[in-house]
């Protein structure tokens, strides 16, 4: 696999632009450098990475393709039928479990989650026919959510945006503006916080990233509107405030974020826990934020020089992979974009 060494630039440490939600002062500046290797180039608006064993598969939002990174190049595994790419919608999050690929996608009518058999071996993967496991999720050109991840409990979690219908986020009868929890076949787990419902948490605007700490704690990143983006610790049945509150509300009934950041410096997308640190990929901020789980009101920032960053992923060997997103219509593509890079020196 061809690798191109680059160096990460160092920027100041921030606890969340101004003051962190806890009211604690910002930490002082910290110097940090680390090399990165390019693993693959030539991707088209990549959105999510999932591993079949040690082999990475990538979703491309606009093309509807699943590609594998094979010998340093993208190889098409298949295209998922029915993808209607518009605005922020298209083929979004993917996850792999028990020989199946799960995909969150926008169609002409809705957002939905489908399951497809993943056949073959590395270098020769193919996809079988799609089986819908959850349909009718709200869809729009913005705020589609779209992250899929299996938790340590074996359940499938999905982030669903409010699809520009703000009030739905507080309505437990609707699935917009929620984090959902379901069995691998889309059924409602008996131990969900709201009986007979897929809703795990609510009051979200556009939740983006999901990751679990070593202790089983679930973290989620979220796009705010104009004031604050968020990192949240997700509690079963928790209300995270939107649209009544953006960022820390400091009022009964709402759970405040662990950190909040100005959108121009953040737009946090995919997140990953590696060891005792949480890595946050930022789109507008064009940086990786590194948060120690022992002190979640602090962080360091690393500018990669690669532009918009869509996803942060824990690879099977424990490395941190970062997915760029400069070909999504909002970035400034350069030769080789989009790409996946591996942060080294960790």
The sign of the dihedral angle between the CA atoms of 60, 331, 311, 233 is negative
pTM for the predicted model, two decimal places: 0.90
pLDDT of residue 4: 33
- Whether 322 contacts 39, CB under 8 Å: no
Residue 316 · residue 69 · CB < 8 Å: no
Asked if pLDDT for residue 271 goes beyond 60, the answer is: yes
Within a 10 A sphere around the Cβ of 341, how many other Cβ atoms? 25
- The Cα 158–Cα 161 span in angstroms is 10
Higher-confidence residue: 288 or 27?
A: 288
Residue 153 has pLDDT above 60, yes or no: yes
Instruction: Calculate the alpha carbon distances from 84 to 87, 104, 110, 143 in Å.
Output: 10, 12, 9, 15
Q: Kindly report, residue by residue over 173-227, the tens digit of the pLDDT.
A: 999 999 999 999 999 999 999 999 999 999 999 999 999 999 999 999 999 999 9
Measure Cα distances from 89 to 142, 145, 219, 305 in Å. Answer: 7, 9, 23, 26
What average pLDDT score do residues 129-156 get?
A: 98
pLDDT at 345: 62
User: What confidence tens digit (pLDDT) does each residue in 12-36 have?
Assistant: 223 333 333 333 223 333 334 346 8
Average pLDDT over the chain, rounded to an integer: 90
Q: What is the distance between the alpha carbons of residues 145 and 87, in angstroms, rounded to a whole number? A: 12
DSSP conformation class of 169 = G
Query: What percent of the chain is predicted at pLDDT more than 90?
Result: 88
Indicate the range of 84-93, 153-162, 296-305 predicted with least confidence: 296-305
- DSSP, collapsed to helix, strand or coil, labels residue 195 as coil
User: What is the pLDDT, as a whole number, of residue 61?
Assistant: 98
Q: Is the pLDDT of residue 121 over 70?
A: yes
pLDDT of 60 reads: 98
Would you say 96 and 52 are in contact if contact means Cβ atoms under 8 Å apart?
yes
User: How far is Cα 335 from Cα 282, in angstroms, rounded to an integer?
Assistant: 21
Name residue, tokens 């064009």.
Answer: 286
Q: For residues 173 and 193, give the distance between their C-alpha atoms in angstroms, rounded to a whole number.
A: 14
């Amino acid at each position: 696999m061809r690798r191109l060494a680059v160096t990460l630039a160092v920027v100041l440490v921030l606890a969340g632009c101004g003051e962190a939600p806890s009211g604690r002062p910002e930490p002082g500046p910290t110097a940090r450098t680390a090399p990165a290797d390019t693993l693959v180039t030539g991707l088209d608006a990549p959105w999510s990475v999932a591993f079949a064993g040690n082999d990475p598969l990538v979703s491309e939002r606009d093309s509807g393709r699943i590609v594998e990174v094979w010998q340093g190049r993208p190889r098409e595994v298949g295209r998922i039928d029915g993808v209607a790419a518009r605005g922020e919608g298209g083929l979004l999050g993917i996850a792999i479990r028990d020989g199946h690929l799960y995909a969150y996608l926008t169609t002409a009518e809705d957002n939905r989650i489908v399951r497809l058999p993943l056949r073959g071996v590395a270098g020769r993967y193919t996809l079988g026919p799609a089986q819908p496991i959850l349909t009718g999720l709200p869809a729009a050109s913005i705020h589609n959510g779209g992250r899929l991840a299996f938790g340590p409990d074996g359940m499938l979690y999905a982030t669903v945006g409010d699809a520009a219908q703000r009030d739905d986020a507080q309505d437990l009868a609707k699935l917009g503006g929620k984090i959902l929890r379901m069995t691998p076949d889309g059924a409602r787990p008996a131990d969900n916080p709201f009986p007979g419902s897929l809703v795990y948490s609510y009051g979200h605007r556009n939740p983006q990233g999901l990751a679990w700490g070593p202790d089983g704690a679930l973290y989620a990143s979220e796009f705010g509107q104009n004031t604050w983006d968020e990192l949240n610790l997700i509690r079963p049945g928790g209300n995270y405030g939107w649209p009544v509150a953006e960022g820390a509300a400091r009022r009964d009934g709402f759970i405040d974020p662990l950190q909040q950041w100005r959108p121009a410096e953040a737009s946090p997308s995919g997140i990953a826990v590696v060891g005792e640190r949480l890595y946050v990929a930022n789109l507008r901020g064009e940086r990786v934020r590194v948060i120690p789980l022992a002190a979640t009101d602090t962080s360091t920032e690393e500018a990669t020089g690669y532009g918009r960053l869509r996803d942060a992923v824990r690879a099977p060997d424990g490395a941190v992979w970062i997915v760029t997103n400069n070909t999504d219509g909002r970035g400034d593509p350069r030769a080789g974009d989009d790409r996946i890079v591996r942060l080294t020196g960790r």
